[in-house]
């Protein structure tokens, strides 16, 4: 497969989503988030997800045009019901509302339930960073089938439960961290399966609890491991706390939803930097801190040290020039959907 231009992939995603009932605005929002993940090198949250979103719309699990409903709020807090809308549109609107409250009250927090997959968390806290604030977001597994075993266990009880924090700076690229609390994001296993690749030890155990390099082991009764390897109790504890913020505090609950319907519970918080110190001074010190980190002499076999978020920024810049690699299996699924939905052939034809 040759690489595909980001703009072309964006148009493909938009057309597929509109064809099954999404509004133009919804399709543009979802596609922007999805292709941004590809550009950053996180293919697990990229175009590979579009066929799944189409299927969820057709099944009725995602409701295009769903109302954004505020259940309760205070000057600093908001509780949002997404009414099964796209997680991308619901969480983006929720984050913007949280930013506006923090602009007035210095600190604000929001919980969100009943929404589709929110994708890569990075995009939401980055909205806060762009507004001169610190953004934080956590998400649970949507009460879908679990994939991560508690530390020392061999049966899944948790999702990948990511957490993201982004801060403002004067750097060319954003300073942030966005990590799964599992050893690896679940979508990376799907990518490995698509590419016929093995995975490193320490990612997955089989149903007998044995460390394996076969990514299909998870689908055959195995489990992913928590972040941390030999000290995985740290990732396990962090994952449990993310579940409390995103599942219990939101009222979503824990465990598996009997209907199997994906339902991302999210917690987000925004901190106005100027409530603590002058914004420009803070941004410059974050910039100097990043330079201090990257000036570290690299270890053997390492080309250079990056500040958190820098590598994704550089990948995205290069991806806009070089295009995005799409696995043949994914391309065939996109083409099949285009034919099924009667989208112009030239949209997919290489």
Per-residue pLDDT of the chain (350 residues; tens, 9 = 90+): 679 999 999 999 999 999 999 999 999 999 999 999 999 999 989 999 999 999 999 999 999 999 999 999 999 999 999 999 999 999 999 999 999 999 999 999 999 999 999 999 999 999 999 999 999 999 997 777 889 999 999 999 999 999 999 999 999 999 999 999 999 887 788 888 888 899 999 999 999 999 999 999 998 999 999 999 889 999 999 999 999 999 999 999 998 877 777 889 999 999 999 999 999 999 999 999 999 999 999 999 999 999 999 999 999 999 999 999 998 889 999 999 999 998 866 666 64
CATH architecture for the domain at 1-65+322-350: Orthogonal Bundle (1.10)
pTM: 0.93
In terms of C-beta distances under 8 Å and separation of at least 24 residues, what long-range contacts does 226-229 make, across chains too? 226/148, 226/149, 226/150, 226/151, 226/158, 226/181, 226/182, 226/183, 227/179, 227/180, 227/181, 227/182, 227/183, 228/151, 228/183, 229/183, 229/202
| Residue spans per domain, the chain | 1-65+322-350
């Amino acid at each position: 497969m040759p690489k595909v231009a980001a703009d072309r992939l964006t148009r493909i995603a938009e057309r597929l989503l509109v064809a099954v009932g999404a509004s133009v605005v919804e399709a543009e929002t979802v596609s922007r988030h999805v292709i941004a993940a590809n550009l950053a090198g996180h293919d697990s949250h990229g175009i590979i997800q579009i066929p799944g979103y189409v299927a969820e719309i057709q099944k009725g699990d995602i409701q295009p045009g769903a109302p954004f409903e505020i259940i309760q709020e205070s000057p600093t807090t908001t509780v949002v019901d997404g009414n099964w809308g796209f997680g991308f549109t619901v969480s983006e609107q929720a984050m913007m509302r949280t930013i506006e409250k923090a602009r007035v009250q210095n600190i604000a927090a929001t919980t969100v339930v009943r929404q589709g997959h929110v994708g890569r968390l990075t995009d939401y806290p980055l909205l806060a960073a762009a507004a001169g604030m610190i953004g934080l977001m956590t998400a649970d597994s949507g009460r879908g089938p679990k994939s991560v075993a508690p530390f020392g266990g061999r049966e899944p009880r948790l999702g990948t439960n990511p957490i993201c924090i982004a801060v403002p700076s004067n750097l060319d690229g954003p300073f942030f961290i966005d990590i799964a609390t599992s050893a690896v994001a679940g979508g990376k296993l799907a990518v490995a399966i698509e590419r016929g690749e093995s995975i490193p030890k320490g990612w997955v155990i089989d149903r007998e609890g044995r460390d394996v390099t076969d990514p299909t082991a998870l689908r055959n009764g195995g489990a992913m491991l928590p972040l941390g390897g030999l000290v995985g109790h740290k990732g396990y504890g962090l994952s449990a706390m993310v579940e409390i913020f995103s599942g219990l505090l939101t009222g979503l609950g824990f465990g598996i939803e009997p209907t199997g319907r994906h339902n991302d519970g999210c917690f987000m918080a925004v901190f106005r930097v100027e409530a603590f110190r002058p914004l420009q001074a803070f941004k410059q010190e974050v910039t100097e801190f990043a330079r201090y980190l990257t000036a570290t002499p690299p270890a053997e076999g390492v080309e250079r040290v990056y500040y958190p978020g820098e590598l994704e920024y550089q990948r995205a810049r290069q991806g806009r020039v070089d295009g995005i690699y799409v696995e043949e299996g994914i391309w065939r699924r996109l083409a099949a959907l285009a034919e099924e939905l009667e989208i112009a052939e030239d949209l997919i034809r290489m």
